[in-house]
């Protein structure tokens, strides 16, 4: 083996749990789906929205999000072959996927922000409860967060940074979220119908999903366990809230995930897609399937059963993939009757017996982000490939900090850039901060124009997520009412939108992820984030800290290029 190459470790799925309106375990959920049962029904609760809407809500408990997560981890662990919890969790990292977490704890008029609003606090408490020996990671990358978290966790295990990972995807059906999606007029008045000619919008839901990943085969009880073979993340660099019209971003993520997994299109039996049932998402996905030359595979969406569960969706839908591979079943897309997307894909409304060995799970989200990951049974999975350790050279950095006059300071910096675009003035402050810093780095390094777009990536982190804009959205719905929620505000309540702004302006189409970390990790952030770029196929990375709370702002970005890049 070459000196600069390392052998990847195989990543096994050892246990899982789905906690949703269809049941509190994976088996309960899948048995409900086999009976064509959906959790989506009319919800008439003014605490969620001022008029009735269709959604999927857990009514069987009175638990908070923290309790649901811990119960789900317990169930997933009991499904595995973990013999000594203490020793197992000491070698385990928690990778937490969410979009808004416990956001309903936010009150815009409160003097002090409830600590439950801060996503890293929930992750820290969960890791502490299980005595996990490694500091947790939080990924808040819109609706790809769950798939992104599984990819990130599997890479950590592959590289030997940890032996095990507990991936948690969790979000609530909250007043905050429902009003935001209603502002986009994207919620269907009936149960969602992915890929169907009569589809007219998505259905929201809530769930917790837990997947236990490990390098230790004996932790899995399965005779032929599922393995994570490879995943990839990309950006459309097209629009903040609408997907690419060509499907290129998602299509390229699918191709790259297959390349990393070392498999071909003929090896993929089915595609478990995002399938939100919005007009443009489903249209884009049909094109992405063809872009990746996977039109011969069956395409399914499971959102008519659970609704769109945001940060949990990629995790619970991955668990359904594992179940189908192990049980020789193919689940139908509930309610599907007539194909209504521009390019032909193979969708079925009914379940059937189906022997499959490998599948691909995809997701797409606001900010132009896309993710894809390949799962296969161990019996068909080849020996793990070797990977080349990529070294990075720091080429430039940009820092901007202060605790007052943010508005005037950021406008002055924008003038220095000679930026005449009105788009800058429509951004929220977090996006203005991050995109300004990135623009200075890019302007000062014109050689970046020669780097292919899909080889340029972004990794950023902060502690407060998108708190400033969260408060703004919350204030609107508290004071002005649900119907006054603004889509232009709501889209910025996702921290990864700052990455989307940079990708669109500067054609960065490679891997991009936003992490939430404790503030004390700020000085370690760049090194940590750069570690995730090591096997992403990138030649150029901008990584760093991008924080803004009130008038206090703290930006430090660094530009790196691959050591052997010419």
Phi, psi dihedral angles at 181 (to 5 degrees):
-70, -35
- Is 374 in the same domain as 394? no
The answer to whether residues 242 and 274 touch, using CB atoms and an 8 Å cutoff, is no
CATH number of domain containing 451: 3.40.47.10
Q: Which of 350, 371, 387 is the last residue of a domain?
A: 387
Instruction: Look up residue 199 and give its two tokens.
Output: 């589809």
Q: What is the pLDDT of residue 386?
A: 66
- Determine the Cα–Cα distance for residues 106 and 397; give it in Å rounded to an integer: 35
The string of DSSP codes covering 25-49 is SHHHHHHHHHTT---EEEE--TTT-
Instruction: Look up residue 429 and give its two tokens.
Output: 């402050």
- Determine the Cα–Cα distance for residues 17 and 24; give it in Å rounded to an integer: 8
Secondary structure element (H or E) that encloses residue 165, with its range: strand 164-171
- Is 346 in the same domain as 401? no
- Is 343 in the same domain as 407? no
- Determine the Cα–Cα distance for residues 496 and 500; give it in Å rounded to an integer: 7
- Determine the Cα–Cα distance for residues 397 and 197; give it in Å rounded to an integer: 50
- Is 379 in the same domain as 460? no
- Is 161 in the same domain as 49? yes
Instruction: Look up residue 489 and give its two tokens.
Output: 């505000």
- Is 252 in the same domain as 270? yes
- Determine the Cα–Cα distance for residues 398 and 290; give it in Å rounded to an integer: 41
Beta bridge partners of 41: 55
Nearest Cα to Cα of residue 310 among 43, 46, 68, 56: 56
Q: Which of 359, 387, 415 is the last residue of a domain?
A: 387
- Determine the Cα–Cα distance for residues 41 and 307; give it in Å rounded to an integer: 10
Instruction: Look up residue 486 and give its two tokens.
Output: 């603004």
- Is 332 in the same domain as 421? no
Block residue for tokens 């006054």: 484
By CB neighbour count within 10 A (0-12 exposed, 13-18 middle, 19+ buried), where does 109 fall? Answer: exposed
Q: Which of 347, 366, 387 is the last residue of a domain?
A: 387
Phi, psi dihedral angles at 196 (to 5 degrees):
-80, 155
- Is 20 in the same domain as 85? yes
- Is 372 in the same domain as 410? no
Phi, psi dihedral angles at 82 (to 5 degrees):
-70, 120
As for how many domains the chain has, the answer is: 2
Phi, psi dihedral angles at 544 (to 5 degrees):
165, -165
Per-residue pLDDT of the chain (566 residues; tens, 9 = 90+): 454 556 778 999 999 999 999 999 999 999 999 999 999 999 999 999 999 999 999 988 889 999 999 999 999 999 999 999 999 999 999 999 999 999 989 986 667 888 999 999 999 999 999 999 999 999 999 999 999 999 999 999 998 889 999 999 999 999 999 999 999 999 999 999 999 999 999 999 999 999 999 999 999 999 999 999 999 999 999 888 888 889 999 999 999 999 999 999 999 999 999 999 999 999 999 999 999 999 999 999 999 999 999 999 999 999 999 999 999 999 999 999 999 999 999 999 999 999 999 999 999 999 999 999 999 999 998 777 666 667 889 999 999 999 999 999 999 999 999 887 788 889 999 999 999 999 999 999 999 999 999 999 999 999 999 999 999 999 999 999 999 999 999 999 999 999 999 999 999 999 999 999 998 888 888 888 887 776 668 999 999 999 999 889 999 999 999 888 76
Q: What is the pLDDT of residue 280?
A: 92
Residues spanned by the domain of 466? 390-562
- Is 382 in the same domain as 413? no
- Determine the Cα–Cα distance for residues 167 and 222; give it in Å rounded to an integer: 19
Phi, psi dihedral angles at 77 (to 5 degrees):
-65, -40
Secondary structure element (H or E) that encloses residue 5, with its range: strand 5-7
- Is 463 in the same domain as 360? no
- Determine the Cα–Cα distance for residues 566 and 549; give it in Å rounded to an integer: 39
Q: What is the pLDDT of residue 566?
A: 66
CA dist 145 to 15, 468, 505, 558, Å? 20, 21, 23, 24
- Is 382 in the same domain as 394? no
The answer to whether residues 318 and 374 touch, using CB atoms and an 8 Å cutoff, is no
Mean pLDDT estimate for the chain: 93
Nearest Cα to Cα of residue 136 among 170, 88, 95, 90: 95
């Amino acid at each position: 083996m070459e000196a600069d190459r390392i052998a990847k470790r195989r990543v096994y799925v050892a246990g899982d749990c789905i906690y949703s309106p269809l049941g509190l375990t994976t088996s309960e959920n899948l048995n409900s789906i086999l009976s064509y049962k959906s959790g989506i029904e009319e919800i008439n609760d003014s605490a969620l929205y001022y008029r009735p809407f269709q959604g999927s809500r857990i009514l069987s408990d009175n638990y908070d999000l923290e309790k649901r997560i811990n119960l789900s981890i317990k169930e997933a662990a009991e499904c595995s072959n973990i013999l000594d919890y203490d020793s197992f969790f000491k070698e385990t990292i928690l990778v937490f996927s969410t979009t808004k977490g416990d956001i309903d704890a936010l009150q815009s008029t409160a003097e002090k922000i409830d600590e439950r609003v801060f996503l890293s606090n929930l992750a820290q408490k969960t890791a502490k409860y299980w005595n996990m020996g490694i500091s947790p990671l939080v990924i808040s990358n819109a609706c790809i967060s769950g798939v992104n978290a599984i990819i990130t966790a599997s890479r950590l295990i592959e590289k030997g940074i940890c032996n095990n990972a507990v991936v948690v995807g969790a979000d609530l059906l909250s007043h905050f979220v429902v009003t935001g999606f209603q502002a986009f007029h994207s919620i269907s008045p009936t149960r969602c119908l992915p890929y169907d000619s009569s589809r007219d919008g998505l259905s929201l839901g809530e769930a917790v999903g837990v997947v236990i990943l490990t390098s230790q085969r004996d932790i899995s009880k399965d005779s032929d366990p599922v393995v994570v073979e490879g995943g990839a993340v990309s950006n459309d660099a097209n629009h903040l809230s609408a997907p690419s019209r060509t499907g290129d971003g998602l299509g390229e993520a699918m191709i790259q995930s297959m390349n990393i997994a070392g498999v071909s299109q003929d090896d993929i039996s089915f595609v478990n897609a995002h399938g939100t049932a919005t007009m443009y998402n489903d249209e884009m996905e049909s094109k992405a399937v063809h872009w990746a030359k996977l039109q011969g595979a069956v395409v399914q969406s499971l959102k008519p059963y659970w609704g769109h569960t945001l940060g949990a969706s990629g995790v619970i839908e991955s668990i359904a993939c594992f179940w189908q591979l192990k049980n020789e079943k193919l689940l139908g897309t509930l309610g599907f009757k007539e194909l209504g997307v521009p390019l032909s894909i193979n969708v079925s409304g009914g379940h059937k017996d189906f022997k499959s060995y490998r599948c691909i799970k995809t997701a797409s989200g606001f900010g132009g982000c896309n993710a894809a990951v390949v799962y296969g049974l161990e019996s068909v999975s080849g020996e793990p490939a070797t990977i080349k350790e990529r070294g990075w050279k720091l080429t430039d950095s940009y820092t901007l900090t202060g605790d007052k006059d943010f508005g005037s300071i950021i406008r002055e910096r924008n003038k220095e850039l000679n930026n005449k675009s009105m788009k800058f003035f429509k951004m929220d402050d977090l996006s203005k901060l991050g995109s300004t810093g990135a623009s200075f780095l890019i302007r000062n390094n014109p050689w970046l124009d020669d780097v292919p777009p899909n080889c340029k990536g972004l990794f950023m982190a902060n502690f407060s997520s998108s708190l400033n804009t969260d408060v703004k959205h919350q204030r609107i719905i508290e004071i002005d009412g649900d119907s006054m929620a603004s889509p232009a505000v709501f889209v910025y309540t996702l921290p990864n939108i700052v990455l989307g702004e940079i990708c669109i302006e500067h054609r960065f189409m490679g891997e991009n992820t936003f992490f939430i970390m404790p503030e004390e990790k700020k000085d370690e952030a760049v090194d940590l984030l750069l570690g995730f770029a090591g096997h992403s196929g990138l030649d150029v990375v901008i990584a760093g800290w991008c924080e803004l709370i009130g008038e206090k702002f703290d930006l430090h970005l660094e530009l790196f290029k691959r050591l052997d890049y010419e």
